[in-house]
Structure 1
Amino acid sequence: MSRLDRARNGPGTPEDGEAVGHRMRAAGMTVLPVPRIATGDPQVLRRAVADRSGPVLCTGLMDGWRARHAWSPTELRGRHGERRVTALVDLPPTGVLFPQDQQLYEKELSFAAFVDTMLAATPSTPCYLAYRRAHEFFDPADFDFDSLVPPDGRHGTDTRVWIGSAGTRSMLHSDLKDNLFCQVWGKKDVTLLAWQDSRAAYPFPDNLVNSQVDLGTPDLKRFPLLGRARFHHVRMGPGDLLYIPRGWWHDIRSRTASVSINHWFGEPLGLAQYLRLLAVLGPGYWKSTARDFVVHGLLRREESTRFFFSPASTGKRLYDALRSGNFSQGNDPSTTRQL
């Protein structure tokens, strides 16, 4: 076994899934397991999607994918080593926001050099090649989402790949569409919170899809609603597929070097759902939304990118919705700025 492949079994992060779950429970939070289903039948997944009652982890649905053996670092390095990529390097190991604008972490290098950097990185200086459209980088024959959730002909889909070191973190956030998150190689931990408990996620006043909470260091004095909500947690390994219903908040952390792919599909949450959430969050959120409506909508001033792949602010999205009727335009994965 090569050094590249041994990294799969390398050490986890200081705040790995077990530590995060332990800290959450020790702080008085409720953390439940995600239901697991061993099946090769896509109908089981489709029923879960139709019910949209909560997350489900399926094993067996990816068994026939070529990606399962073709996407190890050794194979990827050999097939794509000369390709130039732009990755995020020397990322902060703690905190919810980037200390600097996201562009300051970007570095252009060959894919082979990125793989070497990824495997040498420590959890204190993680690196990520993330949010890349799968079909632009890999052979579409390596994976197959259409047989799992056939396109409905009305709503667009988007498929992305995520390749990174131990210690990479996609902090608690919410997506507009249903999501199939698939672990191809390595290990990740995912913690989830239902959309109806969004108040307990404490969204940023200027961005309703990103949480102010770091689940690795839960602070119930500052965020008391954390103690009243029910979280779910799952550890994912190669071949695991996690269905995340639209709107569900999720925190994703890599325990080892990791290769993942996800697929957004179906009808997105719309303006009405976000206006209802905005209404219950209170005046501080209304003021922030109004400010960004003017500054980033009417005045068209550029927004900072200190979130992980920053979506547009709530105010800018409301501005877009009133002009185009599409509230998801500013947070649609198919239109967000690409590295």
Structure 2
Amino acid sequence: MAGEVAPILRAAGLTVRPIERARVADVGALRRSVAARSGPLVCSGLMDDWPAGTAWNPAELTKRNPERRVTALMDLPATGVLFPQDQRRYERELPFGEFLDRMTTAGPAAPCYLAYQRAHEILDPADCDFASLLPPDGHGTDTRVWIGSAGTRSMLHSDLKDNFFCQVWGEKSVILVSWQDSRAVYPFPGNLVNSRIDLADPDLSRFPRLRNAVLHHARMRPGDLLYIPRGWWHDIRAHTPSVSVNHWFGEPLGLPDYLRLLGLLGPAYWGATARDFVVHGLLRRQESTRFFFSPASTGRRLYDALRTGDFSRGNDPSSGAQ
């Protein structure tokens, strides 16, 4: 079973608190948390009637479309924040049934992941009844499926939108850090939504502000749903072969939010943003994809905002851009 990060963080002297759990399967408590953005919340029981609970496990999924071709990430690195190679080097096309067989047997030293996959492209999105949890609010939504072996990792990063993260099969752990503590997680100078810190190996001499942050932890088991407020940093790791689904919704963080953060981070970030504005915005040079599903750089996003009025262009999951 892949290792747990929370004990490592506590041993380093960091403050790690359990994420609040709703006492009962109370959709009202979940909706109140979303409305108030009062913080993350884990709920159990809200997915009990979803067909995904019984249909989205490797044995059943193999029966559905075993010959369907999928593009998965294979033989991924087990350590480090960035991929040693461009993400495209890890992509392999193979039959869905073959991938499912490999994901149940792959070890954490070389995990494999069918990740960031739109639900309707490989499964029936009606198997997950997100509409019963929260009525549509006029903003775009997007539902993605994550199927992978033990040892898969979504390194510490921040998303634009509110998120329901649901564990369908297997177990994962989640570490969260508030958007208000963004300086403490040391974003990359050219990329304000990805952290330079590997929480499995926290280097506090290099990243001392992390000591000032409060980290929140939950072990996610089948049937658990986690509300992650927009902007909250999250690190997600699989202890076992795993099937998860997430649902982004609501109004995204926008340009003013990121400009405030950029102002707090200082000259190194301003310089990187200006460079990427020119290189990847004005000159349209391709950016590397060594992050896990790399977002555009902050400079490119600022260029898009000034040109089109949309800072989230190509970064908002519900926009349909990749």
Contact 2:248 2:318 in 1 (8 A): no
Residue matched to 1:27:
12
Letter in 1 for 2:146: W
Structural mapping, 1:169-180, within 5 Å: 169-180=153-164
Query: Could you say what secondary structure the match of 2:132 adopts?
Result: coil
Letter in 1 for 2:145: V
Contact 2:313 2:321 in 1 (8 A): no
Residue matched to 1:126:
111
Structure 1 runs of 4+ aligned residues shifted over 2 Å read 38-41, 334-338
Structural mapping, 1:313-332, within 5 Å: 313-332=297-316
Letter in 2 for 1:231: L
The whole-number CA distance in structure 2 between the counterparts of 1:143 and 1:168 is 23
Query: Could you say what secondary structure the match of 1:61 adopts?
Result: coil
How many Å apart are 1:41 and its aligned residue? 3.2
Contact 1:123 1:165 in 2 (8 A): yes
Query: Could you say what secondary structure the match of 1:37 adopts?
Result: coil
Residue matched to 2:33:
48
Contact 1:166 1:254 in 2 (8 A): yes
Task: Specify which of 93, 96, 99 is matched with residue 108 of structure 1.
Answer: 93
How many Å apart are 1:268 and its aligned residue? 0.3
The whole-number CA distance in structure 2 between the counterparts of 1:45 and 1:252 is 21
How many Å apart are 1:182 and its aligned residue? 0.1
Number of positions where the alignment pairs a residue of Structure 1 with one of Structure 2: 322
Residue matched to 1:285:
269
Residue matched to 1:218:
202
Counterpart check, 1:142 vs 2:127: yes
The whole-number CA distance in structure 1 between the counterparts of 2:265 and 2:214 is 19
Over the matched positions of the two proteins, sequence identity in percent amounts to: 71
The whole-number CA distance in structure 2 between the counterparts of 1:327 and 1:150 is 26
Counterpart check, 1:206 vs 2:193: no
How many Å apart are 1:330 and its aligned residue? 3.0
Letter in 2 for 1:33: P
Contact 2:140 2:319 in 1 (8 A): no
Deviations 1:227-274 (A, max 9, x none): 111000000000000000000000000000000000000000000010
Residue matched to 2:51:
66
Task: Note the aligned Cα RMSD (angstroms).
Answer: 1.0
Letter in 1 for 2:79: T
Contact 1:173 1:249 in 2 (8 A): yes
Q: In structure 2, do the counterparts of structure 1 residues 180 and 140 end up closer, same or farther at CA, with 3 Å as the change threshold?
A: same
Contact 2:62 2:96 in 1 (8 A): yes
TM-score (norm 2): 0.98
